[in-house]
Amino acid sequence: MNKTSSKQLLGVAIFLIAIFIGVPLAISLTGRWDFYFTLTSVALLAIASAGVWLTFYIGRINIGQGAFALIGAYVSAILVVKGGISFWISLPAAGIFAAIVAVIIGLPILRLRGVYFAMITLVLTQVVTLTALALPITNGAKGISSIPLPSGVSLFGIPIIPEFAAMENTKLAFYYTACILMVVTYAALYRLVNSRLGHLCRSMQQNEELASSIGVNIAHIRIVIFAISSFFGGIGGAMFGSIAQSVYPSSFQVADSVNFMLNCFLGGLGYVFGPMLGTLVLYFGWDLLFELGKYQLLIYSIILIAVIRFLPNGLLSLRIGKGGQS
């Protein structure tokens, strides 16, 4: 396990201050309130991307995270709307349900590798979308709309989480919630990567047969990692459903699955915080280019191609050797 240097601690502290104090301050100074939603999206998509990065860590290309995000969004929406359960209980439930689905599906498909695994996860995204269209409980094509905002939570009469609907500024509340979830996710990811399990994953990424021959139960590890990965996807999706207050079969689709994967590539596969940076650049970059009108996609794709052309190992390869490297 790596020793946490004081330099790394300082970096983390600066990052936390930046997202929890710096960003709200900057937004209230500049008056760009629309950035709250964009940054909230970035945080949530970064959570799902963290899951994809984790499957990369065991040497699997995962183009199925959209499926688990959609599952999470639907589980939360159904529990809140049809079950009348608090959103804050439905959120972990969504993650857990996604993880259970991942275990069931993962058992057969995790034996696949390379492009074969990539393709089967891609098909999985389509399967989940079509299932959502066909099932009665998901309301089929009509989707679930008018989902209430998260309710308040109090423990022994002390309010812990305020009622969202009663709030003046739900944007800020969603922003903080998403950032807290993201920080927790990446802390967990960092911890995991630097644990014994992370070490085993690295050995699997190098050579599964070799890892297996020295007594590593690779099948078991694969399932655990895939379940954790999908848990992240479910959480991210559920939170999104709550912000949009609606879920449709098209809320997460193949394009989203592909984007989650691209986030990881762009940030850099060798860096824990790669997917976070990748998501920020890919998603926020699109928003920043909004002024370009019909040339938006053109400029966006040219920049993307230029980045991968000159930094084929991801953005974070610019600063090899500093903190955050696994």
Partner 1 sequence: MANPGLSRPGFIFRKKEPMEQILANGVYLGSQYAMIALGLTLIFALMNVLNFAHGQMYVIGGFVTYTFYGQWGVPFILALVMSCVTLAILGALIEKLLFAPVIKGSAREESTMLLAAGIAFLLDALILLIFGEKQRGVPKIIDGVFNWDFRLIMPYDRILICVLAILSIVGFIGFMQYSKTGRALRALAQDRTAAQLMGVNVDRYSMIGFALGAMLAGLVGGLLVTITGVNLGMGGPTSIKAFMMVMIGGAGVISGAIAGGIILGFMEAIGLAVLSQYGDITYLLIFVSLMIFLAIRPQGLMGKPWG
Partner 2 sequence: MLRRTLIKATLTAAAVSALLTTTALAENPILKIGFVGVTSGPAASWGISNQRSMETRAAWINETGGYKIGDTTYDIEIVSFDDQKDPKRAIAGMEKMAQEGIHYVVGPNVDDGAAAVRPVAEANGIMYFPYAFPKSLYQAPASNAVLGMVANYQSGPAIYQYLKDKEGVKTVAFIAANESDPLSQRDGGVAAAKALGLEVVSDNVTYQVDTTDFTPVLTPVMRARPDLLVLSGVSPANAPQLIRSARELGFQGLISTETAQDAGVLSEGAGDLANGFISVGGASTPELASPMMNEFVKRYTDMFGEYNDESNTKVYALEYILETLKANPSGLTDVSAFQSTMDTFEAPNPYMNGDAKMRYVGMTSFGQRRQVAVPLVVNVYNDGAFETLFIAEVD
With CA atoms as reference, report the closest residue to 311 among 281, 283, 284.
Answer: 281
Look at residue 161 and give the partner it binds from partner 2, partner 1, none, a contact being a CB closer than 5 to 8 Å depending on partner kind. Answer: none
Rule CB under 8 A: say whether 88 interacts with partner 1: no
Task: Pick the binder of partner 1 from 4, 195, 207, 301 (CB under 8 A).
Answer: 301
Listed in sequence order, the DSSP H helices in the chain are: 6-17, 23-30, 34-57, 65-81, 87-109, 114-134, 170-193, 196-206, 208-213, 218-244, 254-267, 274-279, 285-288, 296-310
* Rounded distance between C-alpha atoms, residue 256 and residue 259, angstroms: 5
Look at residue 137 and give the partner it binds from partner 1, partner 2, none, a contact being a CB closer than 5 to 8 Å depending on partner kind. Answer: none
Candidates 127-135, 144-152, 158-166, 182-190; binding stretch for partner 1 (CB under 8 A): 127-135
With CA atoms as reference, report the closest residue to 243 among 181, 290, 288, 158.
Answer: 181
At its nearest, how many Å lie between partner 1 and the CB of residue 68?
15
Tell me if 103 sits within 8 A of 229, measured CB to CB: no
Look at residue 3 and give the partner it binds from partner 2, partner 1, none, a contact being a CB closer than 5 to 8 Å depending on partner kind. Answer: none
The first and second tokens of residue 307, run together, are: 């980045």
For partner 2, which is the closer residue by CB, 9 or 26?
Answer: 26
At its nearest, how many Å lie between partner 1 and the CB of residue 146?
24
How do strand 144-145 and strand 246-247 relate by DSSP bridges?
Answer: antiparallel
Rule CB under 8 A: say whether 277 interacts with partner 1: no
Identity of residue 145: S
Look at residue 9 and give the partner it binds from partner 2, partner 1, none, a contact being a CB closer than 5 to 8 Å depending on partner kind. Answer: none
Three-state DSSP class for residue 110: coil
With CA atoms as reference, report the closest residue to 202 among 184, 179, 218.
Answer: 218
Candidates 40-48, 73-81, 213-221, 265-273; binding stretch for partner 1 (CB under 8 A): 265-273
161-165: which pairs have CB atoms within 8 A and are 24 or more residues apart? 161/88
205 DSSP assignment: H
At its nearest, how many Å lie between partner 2 and the CB of residue 314?
11
Tell me if 164 sits within 8 A of 288, measured CB to CB: no
Task: Pick the binder of partner 1 from 214, 215, 309, 321 (CB under 8 A).
Answer: 309
Applying CB under 8 A, the residues found at the interface with partner 2 are: 32-34, 36-38, 41, 130, 133, 140-143, 145-146, 149, 170, 240, 243-246, 248-251, 255-256, 281, 285, 287-294, 296-297, 299, 303, 306-307, 310-311, 315
* Rounded distance between C-alpha atoms, residue 192 and residue 202, angstroms: 12
Rule CB under 8 A: say whether 197 interacts with partner 1: no
Number of residues forming the site for partner 1 (CB under 8 A) = 45
Look at residue 100 and give the partner it binds from partner 2, partner 1, none, a contact being a CB closer than 5 to 8 Å depending on partner kind. Answer: none
At its nearest, how many Å lie between partner 2 and the CB of residue 7?
22
Rule CB under 8 A: say whether 120 interacts with partner 1: yes
* Rounded distance between C-alpha atoms, residue 226 and residue 322, angstroms: 28
Rule CB under 8 A: say whether 255 interacts with partner 1: yes
At its nearest, how many Å lie between partner 1 and the CB of residue 67?
11
Alpha carbon 142 to its chain centroid, in Å, reads 26
With CA atoms as reference, report the closest residue to 48 among 36, 35, 66.
Answer: 66
Residues that bind partner 1 (CB under 8 A): 61, 108-109, 111-116, 118-120, 122-124, 126-127, 130-131, 133-134, 140, 254-255, 258, 261-262, 265-266, 269-270, 294-295, 297-298, 300-302, 304-305, 308-309, 312-314
